[in-house]
Amino acid sequence: MRLYLASTSPARLALLRAAGIEPVTMSPDVDEDAVAAAEAERLGEPLTPHHVVELLARAKAQAVAADGAERGIDGLILGGDSVFVLDGVIYGKPHTSDRARERWHTQRGRTGQLYSGHWLIEYVDGRPGRAVGAVAVADVTFADDLSDSELDAYIKTGEPLFVAGAFTIDSLGAPYISRIEGDPSTVVGLSLPTLRRLVLRLGYDWPSLWNTGTSALPD
């Protein structure tokens, strides 16, 4: 069973590869801010973190599925999205050094929540079929002894500018995280246990997605 990843995130790709899956990556071309704003306007109230990540994960998967026949898709399409929450405030990607620095000054030594949304669409026989979704949450506690000079050096790498919450646990930001409560892969942006459960709900078994061809994998 082939997995199509509706994301260009290097972290999600590396995570799936480490789990024995080489997905086909496809850019979903979704205006995330516009989708979230339209949904909030429809509901007449702000979106919860759970709603945001599930909504955007679904939008990304559906965007790829919309022209699945033209793309030659035959398998499962996965959309994902993540946000970080501290003091009830939702934080996505900071995009600028100033915003990243401001966020780290706020979250240093504290605990927030990383929400990762997942949406999985079965696309076989040239058309979309069943779809399932779920959200995973993990608590993230940041080091309380992170100096301003360390923070400046980290921001200069550019890494925190384009990830939810302005941090990573699978690259340069890992030493600045003191504790994770929950599935660690959730914080990378894709909960592997959650994805496995979604695959099972659609009637497929997890090893059917393995395709990296390593000697440890079955033929």
Catalytic residue set? 81
Distance CA 48, CA 19 (A): 30
Distance CA 209, CA 23 (A): 9
**Residues whose CB falls within 8 Å of the CB of residue 35, separated by 6 or more in sequence, listed in order:** 55, 56, 59
- For 23, the 3-state DSSP assignment is coil
* CA-closest candidate to residue 189, choices 51, 54, 78, 80: 80
Distance CA 72, CA 55 (A): 25
Q: How far is it between the farthest Cα atoms of the chain?
A: 56
DSSP label at 45?
A: S
The token pair at 188 is 């990378």
Whats the size of the chain, residue-wise?
Answer: 219
List phi, psi (to 5°) of 164.
-60, 130
